[in-house]
Amino acid sequence: MNREEINIFVERNLTNFSVNSTGWSDLIRKLLFEFAIAGWNLEHRVFGKEKFGELRCYTYSEDETLNNSLKNIKDKYSKLSEKTCEICGSEGKMRTIGAWQTTLCLTHFLEQQPVIEIDDQHNVKLHNKTVLNIKNVVKADIEYDLQKLVLYTGHNDWEGQKYFSWQEPNYYLLLKAIPLSLFPKDRQSEISMLFQSLNNCEICGHKAVYQRNCLRCHQEPWNDSGYFIEDYGDKSNYIKECQMDIFLDEDDYEKYFITDRSFEKVPEHQILFSSDDLREYEKLLF
């Protein structure tokens, strides 16, 4: 076989891969090229797809030696795909968008994530598009854990339903903006109590602690139980480690929630770690 034959094989089979965008095109081309070099019959088609945020390729050969070579090639590019944005091909990581796993760079991750915005006219927007006006809401419901909100703009339950989740920035800002009278009577006091009983979080510096959990950074406040003492020794060590995790922001949560205005900041909040602490902590993690 010559290079031209391989190129024809690669381009012909590139379209057999069902992927979300063009970011993995170079990976797929390289995979197909290595298939050809390994001895794959160029007359046979190769199929693949994106699954759970990874590139998957499905092939079989009766030649056991060739099969082993193909498996190594497939494993290699599957692992590379986990670090490559499906949209643009730049460095990415595995993300969860809604209920779907996908591999995206930070820019395309943030573009696809919804951010709740409320303007001065009480318009609620997602992706800069108005989805409802709070003045038009006639009914509201909320899940038992207060983490999912349903707003209705029609008098029938199937009319004008809009869903909002605690995983979206400004969720609690929206929850607070909805008149309590629109919620079922047996939930009104619980919703009211949530905002009245918030305490300061010594970790992230927001007034967001509710029932032993911070609604902003999702860390548990320090307590003198055996688990905390055994793992951290004292309170300052625990707070310091949690703050360094927030600063390093490995899952890009803070970059996503930078626009969140649900909770007021605590003026006297202190950062306990130093640059030396951070360097030593990074050595342990990476």
Q: Could you write out the DSSP letters of every residue in 239-274?
A: HHHHHHHHHH-TT-HHHHGGG--SSPBPTT------
Buried b (16+ CB within 10 A) or exposed e, 272-285: bbeeeeeeebeeee
For residue 33, what are its two tokens?
């090229």
pLDDT band at 65 (very low <50, low <70, confident <90, very high): very high
pLDDT band at 285 (very low <50, low <70, confident <90, very high): confident
For residue 286, what are its two tokens?
């990476």
Rounded average pLDDT over 114-124: 96
Model pTM score: 0.83
In contact, 135 and 153? CB cutoff 8 Å: no
Q: Which phi and psi (to 5°) does residue 264 adopt?
A: -75, 150
In contact, 103 and 79? CB cutoff 8 Å: no
Does the pLDDT value for residue 156 go beyond 80? no
Give the pLDDT score at 195.
Answer: 97
